[in-house]
A and B are shown apart, each in its own frame.
Chain A
Amino acid sequence: MAFLRRIQRSDFIYYFFRDPVAYISFFILLALFVSAFAAPLIAPHNPYDPTTIDIMDSELPPVWSSEGSARFLLGTDDMGRDMLSTMLYGMRISIIIGLGAVFLQAAIGIVVGLLSGYIRRLDAILMRIADVQLSFSTYMIAIFIGATFQMMFGVANYEKIAAPLLIFIIGLAEWPQYARTVRASVLAERRKEYVEAARVIGLSRLRIMWRHILPNTLSPVLVISTVQVANAIMSEAALSFLGLGMPQNKPSLGSLITSGFEYIFSGTWWITIFPGILLVVLVLVINLLGDWIRDYLNPKLYKG
């Protein structure tokens, strides 16, 4: 309760409601999150249940076109699944993979960044490892690992582990972003007198790093986290588009876009366009919110 009251008193809320971009983005994002995670409750159909899917319903256009059916608001895809329901379920997968990957990135990156910033002996080696990691593109690593797994375990098994694997791949490929950001802040913080004071008190190095320095480096971490969530969702969509992401029977937004892409020239535009719009809106509002948080946390940039 004390925490809530402190938030209420802080100027965070005040500035938030003064900036229409901030609160509109936030409420759109909130609506998207809620509808994604409440998909089993609010979606009109269950796209994972083959018994409810009828191939005869395939490629029906949205309800407002003359051939549309009232049962399928946004039409159906090539397998006869309701587009709206599939998109909601797909968005849930995209968000889970995005958050999971960022969580993994942050966990690795923060630990590496702290260690290399505070313990100078480890700096050179850890940062060179990060440089090597950064010199491979995310997609290259993902394609390599994804293709290897598909060959080793077969496509059927791959489908079962696709989501955790994508989290692992995207998380592993992007951790140097965190490591570099945290290291830079740690280098600035470790010179400050409160760190010296903590050493004089006789605290252990681990405790100084974790309790004293880390909390002071968290605001840039917060800012890059928003950007990284958006990036991870996009990476996942791109990988799925290339056929290395989520399988067709458990589609994410990316795999939905791919599956519709084959039909776009035959006039069935909705299978690609709707998930595409949803993906763009999702990534856009996350990035807008991230920008706002960056401005808020940096008084030098704040225009209000």
Chain B
Amino acid sequence: MDKLLTINNLNVDFTLRSTTLRAVNNVSLSVNKSERLGIVGESGAGKSVLGFSIINLISKPGRIASGTVMLQGEEISSYTYEQMRQIRGNRISMIFQDPMMTLNPVLTIGEQMRETINAHASMSAADVDAICLEKLRKVYIPSPEKRLDQYPHEFSGGMRQRIIIAISLLTNPSLIIADEPTTALDVTIQAEIMDLLLELCETEHMGLILITHDLAVVSQVTQRIAVMYAGSIVEQGATEQLITNPQHPYTKGLLGALPQRASRDGRLNQIPGVMPGLAKIPEGCSFRNRCSLAADICLTQPVLEEKTSGSQVACHMVK
């Protein structure tokens, strides 16, 4: 199959005074053409850092320590700032969590959309406007001609997120990275936005990396899921497979913690303990302190390998 994005052994380090913290630890991933991949994990698992490292925009003091990111066969992790600028917003778009914050309050949405196109292509003003209107219609904004001249505060939260999606579509990217795109929205709007993203990915043949902590959302939208824990991928596999037959104890714990799975009157299930901070990741398997299956062998680092179930799992105890 055609590989759209390949990440090989990526390590992202944050250097704080004398200590170096590894936020993304030896991650390898790939996304096929028009494939939808979910990245799931708790807060602080390194999901967002991974997303930003793909477009090489990790905020200081973070940096890519080693590893490569390939986009359609080009090694974009070695690109210069200026070369990278031609990739961002053009071939890879990104959507953020809070639509209230990601639009500039003092520019009309028309200005913000035109700017995106003009940053990557030179075409006449009429053509630019035509593209803007076309994309606004794609995300079901009613009477887009009027809307172009309005400011972000004149839109509701759900509409703003749809406008942000429209902005990300402007340059017909081959990959969209959506970093918790529905977390700041209420539940009915969440479903609407996810349906829209799903529909657009299918009609526009775009790849999607959906970063979220919401298992229900990923299971509906994605074809494949990677579960992250403390900077590493602990399990990776087809969505159906991973949701119905989780292998790694952490994935099992996550799924078991869903409120639907708890008995009606009992307490909600939870994974004991909390995820360690980056400075306190235990040696060997990073999950072993919270794991009910932990044994002596867990003091050595498990590798991500294919198990009998068909998923890739990083655990000594899974056959």
A binding-site residues for B, Cβ under 8 Å: 2, 192-194, 196-204, 207, 211-212, 215-216
29 examples of A-B residue contacts, CB within 8 angstroms: A2-B149, A193-B98, A193-B102, A194-B101, A194-B102, A194-B104, A196-B102, A197-B94, A197-B96, A199-B57, A199-B88, A200-B57, A200-B93, A201-B93, A201-B115, A202-B85, A202-B88, A202-B90, A203-B115, A203-B116, A204-B85, A207-B115, A207-B119, A211-B107, A211-B115, A212-B104, A212-B107, A215-B106, A215-B107
Is B76 interfacial (CB-CB < 8 Å)? no
Scoring B55, B115, B164 by chain A CB atoms within 10 A of each residue's CB, the highest score goes to B115
Top 7 A-B residue pairs of the complex, sorted by shortest distance between their CB atoms: A201-B89, A202-B88, A193-B101, A202-B89, A215-B106, A197-B102, A200-B94
CB contacts (< 8 Å) of A207 on chain B: these are 115, 119
Task: Give a binary string over B153-168; 1 marks a CB under 8 Å from any A CB, 0 the rest.
Answer: 0000000000010010
Question: For the complex, what is the distance from the CA of A212 to the CA of B105, rounded to whole Å?
Answer: 9
Does B21 count as interface, using CB distance less than 8 angstroms? no
> Which secondary structure dominates chain A's binding surface?
helix
Chain A residues contacting B94 (CB-CB under 8 Å) are: 197, 200
**Alpha-carbon distance between A198 and B89 when the two chains are bound, in angstroms:** 9
* Smallest beta-carbon distance B85→chain A, Å: 5
Nearest to A216 among chain B residues (CB) is B106
Q: Using known A-B contacts A193-B98, A193-B101, determine if residue A200 contacts B107 with beta carbons closer than 8 Å.
A: no
**In this assembly, does B103 line the interface, its C-beta being within 8 Å of a C-beta of chain A?**
yes
Tell me whether B119 and A203 are in contact (CB under 8 A).
yes
B72-115, CB under 8 A of A: which get 1 and which 0? 00000000000011111110011010100111111100000001
Q: Tell me the complex Cα distance, A223–B167, Å.
A: 34
Interface pair A202/B167, CB less than 8 Å apart: no
Q: A203 vs B89: C-alpha distance in the bound complex, in angstroms?
A: 9
Q: Which A residue's beta carbon lies closest to that of B90?
A: A202
- Tell which of B55, B86, B115, B120 touches A200, judged by Cβ atoms closer than 8 Å: B55
A216 x B119 contact (CB < 8 A):
no
| Chain A contacts for B93, CB-based, 8 A | 200-201
A-B CB pair tally, cutoff 8 Å: 64
The number of chain B residues with a CB under 8 A from chain A is 27
Contacting residues, chain B, for A198 (C-beta < 8 A): 104
Which residues of B are found within 8 Å of A215, using beta-carbon distances? Answer: 104, 106-107
B108-155 with Cβ < 8 A to chain A:
115-116, 119-120, 149
Complex CA distance for A193 and B164, rounded to whole angstroms: 12
Give chain B interface residues in 42-69, CB to chain A under 8 Å.
55, 57
| Chain B residues positioned under 8 Å from A211 (CB to CB) | 107, 115
The residue on B at minimum CB distance from A120 is: B60
Interfacial chain A residues near B105, Cβ < 8 Å: 194, 216
Q: What distance in Å separates the Cβ of B311 from its nearest Cβ neighbour in chain A?
A: 31
Could you tell me if A194 and B89 are in contact, using CB atoms closer than 8 angstroms?
Answer: no
B1 to A: closest C-beta gap in Å: 27
Q: Write the chain A residue with the least CB distance to B98.
A: A193
- Establish whether residues A193 and B119, one from each chain, have CB atoms under 8 Å apart when the complex forms: no
Q: Is B119 touching A196 in the complex (CB atoms < 8 A)?
A: no
Question: A197–B179 Cα gap in the complex (Å)?
Answer: 12
Given contacts A199-B57, A201-B88, A202-B85, contact A194 B115 (CB under 8 A): no
CA distance A198 to B119 in the complex (A): 11
Residues of A within 8 A of B106 (CB): 215-216
Query: Bound complex: CA of A199 vs CA of B55, how far in Å?
Result: 10
Flag if B120 contacts A202 (CB, 8 Å): yes
Complex alpha-carbon distance, A202 and B55, angstroms: 10
Q: Which residue of B lies closest to A203 (CB)?
A: B119
Among B88, B94, B98, B104, residue most surrounded by chain A Cβ atoms (within 10 Å): B104
A194 B167 Cβ-Cβ under 8 A = no
Taking the nearest CB of chain A, how far is it from the CB of B104, in angstroms?
A: 4
Closest to A219 in B: B106
Chain A proximity of B128: nearest CB distance (Å): 14
- In the assembled complex, the CB of A89 is this many whole angstroms from the nearest CB of chain B, namely 40
CA distance A196 to B97 in the complex (A): 12
- CB pair B85–A194 under 8 Å, yes or no, is no
Q: Told that A202-B84, A204-B85 touch, could you supply 4 new A-B pairs with CB distance under 8 A?
A: A193-B98, A200-B89, A203-B115, A216-B104
Residues of B within 8 A of A199 (CB): 57, 88
A5 to chain B, nearest CB (A): 12
**Minimum C-beta distance from B173 to chain A (A):** 11
A130 to chain B minimum Cβ distance, whole angstroms, is 24
Q: How far is the CA of A8 from the CA of B84 in the complex (A)?
A: 44
Q: How far is the CA of A207 from the CA of B115 in the complex (A)?
A: 10
Contact B57 A194 (CB under 8 A): no
B87 near A202 (CB under 8 angstroms)? Answer: yes
